[in-house]
Structure 1
Amino acid sequence: MEISSIIGAIVIGLVIGVLGRLVVPGRQRIGLLWTILVGIVAALIGSGIAAAFGVAHTKGVDWIEWLIQIGLAALGVAALDRARARH
């Protein structure tokens, strides 16, 4: 894995994670690192789901893939926030 792909994954994870946090109402008690990690995981899983449904590689911007990734990030942020609130 090249350094540029690692940096790209971090940037995409940050964007997806922040957008996922914006979707979840209220204040989340997770840090930036957790937001990035949730975003990276959501981006990877979302890309797989979009590819399985055949909507990952379309002409122009892949809006459906982005929506899937942001939805997964929102679920991940909410789940992590809820798990951390219990402790």
Structure 2
Amino acid sequence: MEDARATLESQKEQVNMHVSDLEAKIEKAVEKLKHTRNKLHRQGIQMRLDRLQAKLTYWKGFQDRDDVPPAVFGGRKNLLKLQRGCQQLKM
């Protein structure tokens, strides 16, 4: 029981860490976009901004719901089994 509580707390901290890191990256990319004049370079920075915004939306969703992302224990094999099981259920 205590291990589960510690895992949840750790994941909540991780969600907060992801949100703060992404906000800092977005801020830095916006500054870079302001100072860049090259059209191709600006497009690349804008694509990065879009990607970062999507990730931020994903992580903020967990933060707003006071939830944590799903965790799979046991490694890659268990993750793949879980994904296959979910795909079979959707059919």
Q: State TM-score, norm by structure 1.
A: 0.35
Q: Comparing both structures, which one devotes a greater share of its residues to helix?
A: 2
TM-score (norm 2): 0.34
